[in-house]
Each structure stands twice: as structure tokens, then as C-alpha cells.
Structure 1
């Protein structure tokens, strides 16, 4: 798959980033989300140092990602457990059926 340079803007700086073909809109949306998070953190905390903003925003995103992964894994385990219970119930129901 080939890639192309896509311009994005982060903290008022325009950057060219290589992007796989067909993923340009997703990259631009991710860049806009990231830039919005940086701007919001700057306004909320009054931090103006770009390196600090990038670091804290990156940490916040990683924290959110870890939380989402834990929730996903917990939900996946719950679904798996429930499927196991349903399979056992079906097996028991089938075993209790009179033979024909």
C-alpha cells in the first residue's frame, strides 16, 4: 500500500505526515482531535510550554486508552462467561430431553 504526505496542523504548526492512501480523513480527524485536546489543556491549566502540553496530553490519551482496554477486556470476559453458561444450560437441556 502506498502512502502520501498529508498536511495537518498541531499547535498552530503545519506538519507534513506520511499517510497510507485512503486514511487521509482519519489522520486529519485524529490530528484535529489531538490539537483540540492540546488547546483545551492549555486553556484549562494555563500551560503554554508546547513540550509540557504534548507530554501531558499524550499521558492523558494513554490513560484513556488503558481504561478503555481494561473495560473492553472485562466486557469480553463477561460475554465469554455468559456464553459458557448458556452452552452449559443448553447441554443440560438437551441431555434431559426424552429419547425418541
Structure 2
């Protein structure tokens, strides 16, 4: 069993407060992750192309994951397949967003 002390941290993402648990020795990394996610979500919202907190979070997650996978090229991933999947996911999300935008026009 691990002797790591688990801390409860209050973080803010897009102005919403969340309490998350993490090992004490990973607190700095968690704070960096929160800052990166919050920054990306604000950028996506500012672009005006995506509406709704949930959709913004999904797009930020896809973008960050895409960047992460590019750093793992040597890890044996088939980057071309993953890029196609992400492109397909982005297209599906854009289609749903377009349908919802039409509903509220």
C-alpha cells in the first residue's frame, strides 16, 4: 500500500469551483493541469465557435489529448489513425452543435 497523503484541493475551472483529491506530492502538477485546462477552455469560448460549458470541455479535452498523442509518437501509437478519429469526433461535435444552434435561432 502507498504511504502517499491524499489532499483535497479546491480548484476553479471556467469560474466554477471543484474539489478534487490528489496525492500531496502531485499537487503542483494538478494545479498546472487545472491552469492549462482553464486557459484552453477560455480560448475555445472566446473563439465563439462552441457554446456550452460541456461542449467547451469536450473540445478542450480533445485538443489537449491530440497534443499529448503527438508527443507519444515513439510509444507505438498509430498517430494517423488517432488523428482520423479526432477529426471524425470534431466533425460529429460540430454537426451536433450546428443542430442545437438551429434549434435556438
Q: Normalising to structure 1: TM-score of the pair? A: 0.66
**Which of 2, 5, 8 pairs up with 2:8?**
5
Distance in 2 of aligned mates of 1:13 and 1:46? 21
Secondary structure of 1:22's counterpart equals helix
Secondary structure of 1:56's counterpart equals helix
Q: Deviations over 1:23-73 (max 9, x none)?
A: 222211210111000001110134230010011111111111111111xx1
Distance in 1 of aligned mates of 2:28 and 2:69? 25
Q: Normalising to structure 2: TM-score of the pair? A: 0.63
Distance in 2 of aligned mates of 1:45 and 1:62? 21
Note if 1:64 corresponds to 2:71: no
**Which of 35, 40, 43 pairs up with 1:40?**
43
**Which of 3, 23, 26 pairs up with 1:23?**
26
Listed as ranges, the gaps of 5+ residues in structure 2 are 76-105
- Structure 1 runs, 4 residues or longer, greater than 3 Å off: none
What is the aligned-residue RMSD (CA, Å)? 1.5
- Choose 1 or 2 for highest CA Rg: 1
Distance in 1 of aligned mates of 2:48 and 2:41? 11
